[in-house]
């Protein structure tokens, strides 16, 4: 049973068919939605309900939408389930994160290739061994966008998605209160070459793969847990610019694939290069 309102709008996000474009940018913060739309040629607010704020418009002649997911994996699951029912095919998380590798600075960007499933929400959908992996085309488009915009302080690799911001990311909450469950968490994940902590990517990737959709994630680094730096909003604008540009790149690649009757994107599809 799909929970829809009488006017055919999805119950939580309050969007219906035709309200959202095929490409959807998903920040956590509702205030980041108008910031994303600020780079578009045309933008219109569609809905605002609970933590879900939606805009639709055009970026470089490509139809695009943005909707906030709020904080956490359960909210992201709502966005993926409801937005996919009304025509969204590609999701790109535009988020913030905390780095757990010393060389990753505040203001850097992290493009996730896959995510460690510590979100618990994705466990409701499929066995825990199922991988939470980004679409390789979205990963490539995000890398291409960074390079074409001259943004070089980006990292590509593994992300850990947690269900909780405090104990779930091994933060001490109150004095002298420690949590055995996650005591050595940061060290273990750091040794496993995980770049960052955030709270939505694993859920997004898992559901997108289950539903045959494309998904990726790019996050600005607001904190480094190893160096104990914290710079809120550092890199946010770069993150937004890259996500918008990645949509244009994906749309161009789709046209090229159709022209050449290819199902998958590969580098030489867009011209031979002498390396």
Give per-residue pLDDT as tens, 163-177.
999 888 988 777 777
Q: pLDDT tens across 1-49, in order?
A: 566 676 789 999 999 999 999 999 999 999 999 999 999 999 999 999 9
Contact (Cβ atoms closer than 8 angstroms) between residue 27 and residue 20: no
| Catalytic-role residue among 12, 49, 85, 229 | 12
The mean pLDDT of 202-226, rounded to a whole number, is 98
Contact (Cβ atoms closer than 8 angstroms) between residue 103 and residue 37: no
pLDDT of residue 1: 56
Contact (Cβ atoms closer than 8 angstroms) between residue 46 and residue 82: no
Q: Is the pLDDT of residue 98 over 90?
A: yes
| Catalytic-role residue among 22, 171, 229, 256 | 171
- Based on the residue annotation, tell me whether 82 is a catalytic residue of this protein: yes
Confidence of residue 275 (pLDDT cuts 50, 70, 90): very low
Q: Is the pLDDT of residue 274 over 70?
A: no
The residue with greater pLDDT, 171 or 261, is 261
Residue extents of the structural domains in the chain? 23-260
The percentage of the chain sitting over the pLDDT mark of 90, rounded to a whole number, equals: 88
**C-alpha separations of 109 from 14, 35, 103, 235 in Å:** 31, 17, 12, 7
| Catalytic-role residue among 14, 93, 117, 225 | 225
Of 70-79, 111-120, 152-161, 266-275, the one with minimum mean pLDDT is 266-275
The mean pLDDT of 252-257, rounded to a whole number, is 96
Q: Taking the domain 23-260, which CATH number applies?
A: 3.40.50.1580
Predicted TM-score (pTM) of the model is 0.95
- Based on the residue annotation, tell me whether 225 is a catalytic residue of this protein: yes
Contact (Cβ atoms closer than 8 angstroms) between residue 112 and residue 201: yes
Q: Is the pLDDT of residue 180 over 90?
A: no
The percentage of the chain sitting over the pLDDT mark of 70, rounded to a whole number, equals: 96
| Catalytic-role residue among 82, 200, 236, 245 | 82
Q: What is the mean pLDDT of the chain?
A: 94
Interstrand relation of 214-224 and 154-162 (parallel, antiparallel or unpaired): unpaired
Token digits for 152? 């070089």
pLDDT of residue 9: 96
Nearest to 33 by CA among 12, 54, 47, 19: 54
- Based on the residue annotation, tell me whether 171 is a catalytic residue of this protein: yes
pLDDT of residue 171: 85
The mean pLDDT of 250-262, rounded to a whole number, is 97
- Based on the residue annotation, tell me whether 12 is a catalytic residue of this protein: yes
Q: Is the pLDDT of residue 153 over 70?
A: yes
Task: Give burial (CB, 10 Å; 0-12/13-18/19+) of 193.
Answer: exposed
DSSP the chain: ---B-TTS-BTTT---TTTS-SEEEE-SSTTHHHHHHTTSSEEEEEEEETTEEEEEEEETTEEEEEE---SSHHHHHHHHHHHHHTT--EEEEEEEEEE-STTPPTT-EEEEEEEEEE-SSGGGTS-TTS-EE--HHHHHHHHHHHHHTT---EEEEEEEEES-SSGGGT---STT---GGGTTHHHHHHHTTEEEEESSHHHHHHHHHHHT-EEEEEEEEEEETTTTEE-TTTTHHHHHHHHHHHHHHHHHHHHHHHHTT-SS--GGGG-----
């Amino acid at each position: 049973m799909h929970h829809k309102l009488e006017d055919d709008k999805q119950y939580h996000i309050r969007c219906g068919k035709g309200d959202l474009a095929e490409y959807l940018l998903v920040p956590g913060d509702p205030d980041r939605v108008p910031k994303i739309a600020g780079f578009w040629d045309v933008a219109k607010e569609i809905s605002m309900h609970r933590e879900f704020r939606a805009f639709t418009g055009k970026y470089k002649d490509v139809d695009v939408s943005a909707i906030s997911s709020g904080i956490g994996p359960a909210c992201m699951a709502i966005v993926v389930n409801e937005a996919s029912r009304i025509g969204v095919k590609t999701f790109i998380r535009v988020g913030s994160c905390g780095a757990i590798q010393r060389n990753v600075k505040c203001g850097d960007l992290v493009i996730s290739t896959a995510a460690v499933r510590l979100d618990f929400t994705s466990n409701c959908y499929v066995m825990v061994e199922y991988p939470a992996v980004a679409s390789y085309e979205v990963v490539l488009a995000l890398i291409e966008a960074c390079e074409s915009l001259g943004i070089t302080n980006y990292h590509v690799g593994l992300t850990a998605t947690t269900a909780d911001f405090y104990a779930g990311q091994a933060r001490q909450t109150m004095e002298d209160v420690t949590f055995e469950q996650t005591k050595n968490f940061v060290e273990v994940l750091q040794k496993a070459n995980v770049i960052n902590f955030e709270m939505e990517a694993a859920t997004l990737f898992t559901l997108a793969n289950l539903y045959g959709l494309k998904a990726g994630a790019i996050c600005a680094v607001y904190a480094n847990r190893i160096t104990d730096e914290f710079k809120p909003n550092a890199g946010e604008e770069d993150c937004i610019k890259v996500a918008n540009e990645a949509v244009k790149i994906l749309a161009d690649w789709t046209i090229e694939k159709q022209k050449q009757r290819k199902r998958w994107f590969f580098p030489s599809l867009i011209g031979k290069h002498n390396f």
